Chain A
């Protein structure tokens, strides 16, 4: 009798094992896909921040210091408002807002006025929802640039 009962419980054990294993595998794949989607977005935003910082530094260097204090040998002075215009212009022209909906940008010029820092942030729609994953993840990236005169 006891032997019989033991046999009755056996069929289905292997399938349970396999289905469970497959479920764990699917879950793990979803986590990895989500993580690499986030990484890809960061890589893309890094590129955007880099280009925006270059554009901002270029637009921010008005060269007005040439008339007042003389041009620095290593770094040109940068004006924050012009840098901001340059960054906004770059983002509009490169189509970053379409590629990353909800993109916000923060442009800051160093207190010394020689270096522009661009921080971009954009929300990410995760391809899969895994229990414990953030509801509305936001990815950020940072780029900085200076203008060095060549002689």
Chain B
């Protein structure tokens, strides 16, 4: 009798343990990798956006190029749908970043949506915020154009 009862129990164990243990584990692995991919992308984006901004001839072109560079760096990591925010601050001339002796700080912010989690719990899909920054000096041998 006993040996008959046990028949099939391995399958049940396999199914339940598989669902309870391996599926959440798989989700954790996927989420961690998604967030890490975003972190790589954002850190590379800050660097290339900083370079692009500093090498552009003026602030307006710089801003366009910095955003394009940031998007390209993120797309390189496969992050294409995430929102990208590129903020540029400069000292000591906040309105003229390409003036001599200026120091530019580029901050890139983005968000990674955790995979396979729909709007189950309300309040939008859960996401992970990421940011990175890079500081680039313009140099002392450049004309000071700010007034």
By a beta-carbon cutoff of 8 Å, the part of chain A in contact with chain B is 3-4, 7, 10-15, 18-19, 21-22, 25-26, 29, 32-33, 36, 39-40, 43-44, 46-47, 50-51, 54-55, 58-59, 61, 63, 90, 93-94, 147, 149
Report the separation of the CA atoms of residues A40 and B134 in the bound assembly, to the nearest whole angstrom: 14
Q: Are B9 and A11 in contact (CB under 8 A)?
A: yes
Knowing A4-B3, A18-B17, A29-B32, the reply to whether A13 touches B137 (Cβ < 8 A) is no
Knowing A29-B29, A43-B44, A149-B141, the reply to whether A36 touches B17 (Cβ < 8 A) is no
Q: Are A44 and B6 in contact (CB under 8 A)?
A: no
User: A50 to chain B: which residues have CB within 8 Å?
Assistant: 47
Q: Are B139 and A58 in contact (CB under 8 A)?
A: yes
**Inter-chain residue pair count (beta carbon < 8 A):** 93
By a beta-carbon cutoff of 8 Å, the part of chain B in contact with chain A is 2-3, 6, 9-11, 13-14, 17-18, 21-22, 25, 28-29, 32-33, 36, 39-40, 43-44, 46-47, 50, 103, 105, 132-137, 139-141
The smallest beta-carbon distance between A58 and chain B, in angstroms, is 5
Nearest chain A residue, comparing its CB with the CB of B139: A58
The smallest beta-carbon distance between A43 and chain B, in angstroms, is 5
Contacts A11-B10, A18-B14 aside, 10 further interface pairs with beta carbons under 8 A come to A14-B17, A18-B17, A18-B21, A22-B21, A29-B28, A33-B32, A39-B40, A43-B40, A47-B132, A58-B140
Report the separation of the CA atoms of residues A15 and B29 in the bound assembly, to the nearest whole angstrom: 21
